[in-house]
A and B are shown apart, each in its own frame.
Chain A
Amino acid sequence: MTSTTTPTPPSASAAARRGRAGPPPGAARGPAVRVRGLTKRYGPKQAVDGLDLDLEAGEIVAVLGPNGAGKTTTVEILEGFRDRDGGDVRVLGEDPARAGRAWRARIGVVAQDSRDQAELTVAEAVRSTARYYPAPRDPDEVVDAVGLATKAGARVRSLSGGQRRRLDVALGVVGRPELLFLDEPTTGFDPQARRTFWDLVLGLRESGTTVLLTTHDLAEAAHLADRVAVVRDGRVVAEGTPDTLGGPDARTPLVTWTADGVARAERTDAPTALVAHLVATAAGPDGEVPDLCITRPSLEDVYLGLLTTEDDR
């Protein structure tokens, strides 16, 4: 994926979209996903336990959570792969458990861990998949957009892990989906491939695609997502933009230092005043406060804080 294939949307609409001043491009279509009170049980384990989730058309929402939190089960119910026990689910206005071919033409799924179609070439795989859809993208352009133009004639079995993932994305978007499910898409990517992949996903949003992303990668969520939902024990425990997740308290700067050989920590909205106070009261003979450090919690800190807080209750 070179700069020549980086998406450049028409300038007229681009300003409005990039600024996100108005409604997202697909807002007229109504909410893309609406989940209320979703439940799913496997034997004794309540995998999903009253989960609520909304995606407006045109936005990228990241679903975060530890393994076993119910992310994958939820996504698979939304994709129509799995039946639910209870709750109300609408995806693109339909119930995935009953939706038919026309509905599946409007979603795209990029699952984890695929190793199918090994004997086909990249171009054959994308072209044949395009033929299943009523209004597909140009397969060759899609292959180009995911940066596999030079590999178009190569057998799928010969691709590297990262190339294979990009092919998965190409197969997921060639049908021109309104809603794209990305399940841990950049696992195993090197940093540069990951960055290129992010540009690709942002380009999809520019063209109006709604994206539901599950990931373990907090930097990925912070970079891509308009909103983040943290799932734990089958429920959404926190939701918001990457900047506001967890509420203001979760982001209060933390000042740590050592006084009389004891580690001290204090959360404060006025770290400068606290440090000035420490300089006056806790500084050593050299004028330094031992081990002084001011930390602003990253999304990762906030996320881990959300999970441990729940543990403590």
Chain B
Amino acid sequence: MTATAPATATRPTTTGAAARLPGVARLALVRAGLELRQFWRERDAVIFVFAYPIIMLAIFSSVFGGENQGTEVAEIGYAQYFLPGMVATGIVLTSFQSLAVSIAVERDDGTLRRLRATPLPAAAYVGGKVLLTLATSVVQTVLLLAVAALAFDVPLPDDAGRWTTFAWVFVLGSATGTICGVGFSALPRSGRSASAVVTPVVLVLQFISGVFFAFFALPGWMQTVASVFPLKWIAQGMRSVFLPEDMAALETGGSWQHPATAAVLVAWLIVGLVVGVRTFRWRRRDDG
């Protein structure tokens, strides 16, 4: 290693090192590149993340293909009714579930401990995760929309207003899911139990939030419970993008409730941030 010995003469002083520490934004990009590379190499995970919403859409559309969803107010095809739910569930899977599991696994296998011993700031680590989530969510959603439009003849909106709604629900939903995922990652005791702890939470939310069943058809108490959590609101926001305007009559209170959607998602974002900052651990729980 003394092949580099001449450089020891120019060993940086403490202040020099402080001045030249790489910036957080640049490090977040470095981390994002690494995250993407590692994600892409785990082929099974890649296929699951990208195909799951599409497969679920295909299954539900085929099973209930003959029935139309809605009431006398408006009737549309099943694929169209459930596309928003699949978009929402994809966002939650990629941001919340993947992140909560992967951080728990990385805490268990020593990735976090190793990073903690380097000058990498926690913000750059989380930043890399956010960028990974963003990249995979975008690809996942584009694929889902393309399959829905081409294979299931779901009409996609053609006005800018709806796509604006789509953009803010997508970004806010992903951000909330990501931050809550970071916070939730402290719960599993080990990397092996991470999936078992996180998956049921998401699964239950999918059933009560109008992803697999029409939300208006769920019992009132279930709707109330679901309204506490973000997935219901992301799904509702997406319904406002992909369903005809008059379907708003089927929503709680007869409207798309955009302000409430934004409020609930922002509230969870803040709760997730506070909890995440307080509970984030670089080491395993049994590690002291």
Contact = CB atoms under 8 A, between A and B. Distances in A.
Interface of A: 5, 7-10, 25, 42, 79-82, 93, 101-109, 111, 113-120, 124, 128-129, 131-135, 137-138, 141-142, 144-145, 171, 173, 175-176, 178, 200, 203-204, 206-208
Given A116-B114, A132-B22, A101 B119 contact: yes
Interface string B1-30: 111111110111010111111100001001
Contacts of B38: 117, 119-120
Given A109-B114, A135-B20, A137-B1, 18 more contacts: A7-B3, A10-B5, A42-B288, A81-B116, A102-B119, A104-B117, A105-B21, A108-B117, A109-B117, A113-B110, A114-B109, A116-B111, A120-B34, A128-B33, A131-B30, A173-B1, A175-B119, A176-B4
16 contacts: A7-B3, A81-B116, A93-B14, A106-B14, A111-B113, A124-B34, A128-B30, A132-B27, A133-B119, A134-B17, A137-B1, A144-B3, A175-B119, A204-B1, A206-B2, A208-B11
A79 B116 CA distance: 10
Given A79-B117, A145-B3, A119 B11 contact: no
B41 interface: yes
B129 interface: no
B276 to A, nearest CB: 20
B3 A101 contact: no
Interface in B66-104: none
Closest 10 CB pairs of A and B: A7-B2, A109-B117, A116-B111, A102-B18, A134-B20, A101-B119, A105-B119, A119-B41, A145-B1, A119-B38
Contacts of B21: 101-102, 105, 134
Interface of B is mostly: helix
A145 B18 CA distance: 27
B42 interface: yes
**Highest count of chain B CB atoms <10 Å: which of A120, A133, A178:** A133
B162 interface: no
Given A81-B283, A119-B41, A134 B118 contact: no
A117 B111 contact: yes
Contact of B5 (A9, A80, A135): A9
Contact of B12 (A131, A134, A206): A134
Contacts of B113: 81, 111
Contacts of B12: 134-135
B120 interface: yes
Interface of B: 1-8, 10-12, 14, 16-22, 27, 30, 33-34, 37-38, 41-42, 106, 109-111, 113-114, 116-121, 282-283, 288
A104 B14 contact: no
Contact of A114 (B3, B6, B114): B114
Contacts of B106: 116
Nearest to A145: B1
Contacts of B19: 134
B8 to A, nearest CB: 5
Contacts, number: 137
A106 B37 CA distance: 28
Given A106-B17, A207-B8, A133 B110 contact: no
Contact of B6 (A10, A93, A119): A10
A200 B27 CA distance: 30
Contacts of A142: 1
Given A79-B117, A117-B111, A132-B118, A102 B2 contact: no
Contacts of A8: 2
A171 B288 CA distance: 24
Nearest to B40: A119
Given A105-B21, A116-B106, A132 B119 contact: yes
Contacts of B22: 131-134
B42 A119 contact: yes
A111 B111 CA distance: 11
A116 B114 CA distance: 9
A80 B12 CA distance: 21
Contact of A203 (B2, B17, B37, B109): B2
Nearest to A93: B14
A106 B12 CA distance: 9
A114 B2 contact: no
Contacts of A80: 116-117
Contacts of A104: 117-119
B106 to A, nearest CB: 7
B190 to A, nearest CB: 13
Most chain B CB inside 10 Å of its own CB: which residue of A111, A116, A200, A203: A116
Nearest to A141: B3
A17 B124 CA distance: 39
Contacts of B5: 7, 9-10, 206-207
Contact of B17 (A116, A135, A173): A135
A113 B114 CA distance: 11
A120 B31 CA distance: 12
Contacts of B42: 119
B116 A141 contact: no
A178 B138 CA distance: 43
Contacts of B6: 10
A9 B3 CA distance: 7
Contacts of B111: 116-117
Contacts of A200: 1
A176 B7 contact: yes
B29 to A, nearest CB: 10
